[in-house]
Structure 1
Amino acid sequence: METIHVGLVADPAAPTAIARDMSDLSSPDGGASWDVTVVSEPFSTGSEDVGAAVGRLQDQACQRGWDLVVGLTELPLHDHKGRHLLVQTDPEQRTAVLSLPALGGIRMHSRARRAVRALLSAMAEPRTGGEAHRVVLPHLRGRWRLLFGMVLANRPWLLIPGLKSALVASLATGAVATVNSTVWLLAGSLSWWRLVVATVASITLVVAWLVIDGELWDRPDDESPQARERSRLYNTSTLLTLTSGVLMGYFALYVVNLAWAYFILDPDLMGGYLNKTLGYRDLFVLAWFVASAATVGGGLGSGLETDEAIRAAAYSKREEDRRDRLAHDRDSR
């Protein structure tokens, strides 16, 4: 049986984990045997023209003696017209590059597996000398799917562990504020829409602080439409990732404050002290108000650690790491 040597070149971290799950890929028609090799290495930088990424993959194939090569990247790709791409193949060179975020971020392992198998099956056919083939995402719906995939690739749920000092400060602020009579009076005097405004304002302030203090805002390298579009895409995904992470932390803080209030406070006793009639339902309002105050106090009142979880929230920062590693690999060769 003929053996086809297949190379999967994946960006570090999540793309590498997805690629390693495909080391057992086999031909769907039971024909030639696939010998799959996985290499973890950054081969793409920025939302670049996909031709540059394909060229690097072809160099890898020549050096390692692969018959077929597929690159898996966590970055968005575009063609010379600025259109976002899911995949591009070069049938003549038997090379393809797949943008994982363009798959939408849901069931990534299974979707990527199906996509890579289909690409390899198509490229394993006898060479016909065909031109490069690309799958372009729909303009509006595809952009939202790409953006959603980028946010999930950023793993916003890992942002909270990256804000250890802010989290501790928020919990301490909430614990003290919960037993403060002035806070009880303020919480009881606020209408529901003021509480909503306080929630939105607290989350917005913390997100803005993370962007400014962490220098997470990406700026175009030049004035070209492609560079501006890349920055807009990166910055939008960063803001959505940070907002999602801070929102998760806010709800966690609300639950902790509510549990603490139920455990330590007696509404009748506090009501007698304040000359008001209070019940356990008032604890929900109290915890809501305290969560907003503690989010601001903890987020802005403490320094941010240098943590990979925070850097990972921004595509621009991960791109810097990717560029540095790619340059280092080139210099070492």
Structure 2
Amino acid sequence: MARRLPARLSDNVGKGRRFEVKVASEPFTAECEDPSTLMGRITDRASEEGWDIVVALTDLPLHTQGRKLVVNLDHEHGLALLSLPALGGFRLQTKARRAVEEAVIALAEPRATAADEQQQGQPSKTALAGRFAPVRPGPVGEDESTDLRYVVSGPRGYVRLLAGMVRANRPWRLVPGLSKALAAALATGAVATVNSTVWSLAEALSAPRLVIAMVGSIGLMIGWLIVDAELWHRSAENSPEAKLRAKLYNASTVVTVGIGVLVCYVGLMVINLVWALFILNDRVFASMTRAPLDATEYLTLSWFVASTATVGGALGSGLESDEAIRAAAYSKREQERRNLLQSED
């Protein structure tokens, strides 16, 4: 983004202006920062470095006055604070680039223009507040340096923020991060596939019971991982914003782990199906179950064995270290913040 911004900003702003973009990194500790404090830290850093405009990007979900923050703009000091999860979980790079461009362009405009928009109560539409986006201008306190704010609200805003948090956690990394659990699940599935009792059970179970077995095994795996690795987030504060933040963190953890476990389940089902096609004999199967071994029986058996193997995987996940599971369930920065909080406690 930093490489492309100078040319794009010069084209959009015009007036012969030239932009030089610098990138700096500074940790924002979870549960220890609020938007006002973060804006203060950005102000101090901008004064030390002599920067004209600062756009701070964070993967922290930020809240202000009971609303989920998208961006804070301070035209007087040339500052913007952008919460990336509030942009959602899809096309994040494109949305972030447009949001940064819009923020810089807004901050580069004369202050009178920004003040006029604020007095009219009708800030100009930006890429953040599109027609279909649940992003709206938000209230600003009198004691805040921020003069323009965008927030998300309502069910769509909650889903948008949750999707952004889950994307930051990268749930697909959970699959290779659970090597011991997957090994236990594969071993369980391999044994169950050649077990005649499992054949009889799979043939006798109805579709609703198979669905119940699938949901139960996946739920057991999710619950075991969260409890065993202590992924459940407990807030030390009693404020409404702290409780809302804790609910969001826990919801994102459940969805993240759930997506990872669901991917593992589908993978187990495919592997079990291939193993069954290779190892099972139709005459032996028919003699034990009194049913022909056709495509339906193959799929039903693989489905049921996947549920059984997932339970075995849940037991095998106990062999994984808590650090390995946290590393697979959280983004790098989120893991660093949680480790920092634990060390401070």
Q: What TM-score, normalized to structure 1?
A: 0.85
Q: Does 1:168 align with 2:152?
A: no
What are the superposed Cα offsets for residues 57-89 of structure 1, whole Å, 9 maximum, x if unpaired?
11221222211111111111111x221111001
Cα–Cα, structure 1 residues 203 and 173, in superposed 2: closer, same or farther, change >3 Å? same
Mapped contact 1:254–1:291 kept (Cα < 8 A)? yes
Q: CA deviation at 1:140?
A: 2.4
Q: 1:89 aligns with which of 70, 73, 77?
A: 73
Question: Does 1 or 2 have the higher relative contact order (CA < 8 Å, sep 6+)?
Answer: 2
Matches within 5 A, 1:1-333: 21-26=1-6, 27=9, 28-30=12-14, 31-43=16-28, 45-46=30-31, 48-79=33-64, 81-128=65-112, 130=115, 132-302=147-317, 303-305=319-321, 306-307=323-324, 309-312=327-330, 317=335, 319-321=337-339
Secondary structure of the 1:37 match is: coil
State the number of aligned residues.
Answer: 305
> Structure 1: how far apart are the matches of 2:197 and 2:236?
51
* Aligned equivalents of 1:235, 1:144: Cα separation in 2: 14
Deviation at residue 41 of structure 1 after TM alignment: 2.2
Instruction: Give the Cα separation in 1 of the matches to 2:49 and 2:263.
Output: 45
Query: Unpaired segments of 5 or more residues in structure 2?
Result: 116-145
* CA 203–270 in structure 1, closer or farther in 2 if over 3 Å, else same: same
**Aligned match of 1:7:** none
- Shift, 1:56, TM fit: 1.4
Code of the residue aligned with 2:82 in structure 1: it is L
Closer, same or farther in 2 for the Cα pair 1:44/1:55, shift >3 Å?
farther
Report how far residue 214 of structure 1 moved. Answer: 0.7
Deviation at 1:311, TM superposition (A): 4.4
Identical positions, percent: 48
Q: Secondary structure at the match of 1:39?
A: coil
Matched-pair contact (CA < 8 Å) for 1:48–1:78: no
> Contact between 2:185 and 2:316, CA under 8 Å: does it hold in 1?
no
Alpha-carbon distance, 1:315 to partner: 9.2
What SS does the corresponding residue of 1:260 show, helix, strand or coil? Answer: helix
1:319 aligned partner, one-letter code: R
Q: 1:23 to 1:140 in 2, by over 3 A?
A: same
Q: CA deviation at 1:48?
A: 4.3
Q: Which amino acid aligns with 1:50?
A: P
- Write the letter of the residue equivalent to 1:132: D
Moved more, 150-159 or 128-137: 128-137
Give me the TM-score of the superposition, normalised by structure 2: 0.82
Q: CA RMSD in A?
A: 2.2
**Other structure's SS at 1:97 match:** strand
Q: Distance in 1 between matches of 2:336 and 2:272?
A: 35
- Checking the alignment, whether the CA contact within 8 Å between 2:171 and 2:329 is kept in structure 1 is no
Change (3 A) 1:55 1:97: same
* Aligned residue type for 2:39: V
Secondary structure of the structure 2 residue equivalent to 1:165: helix
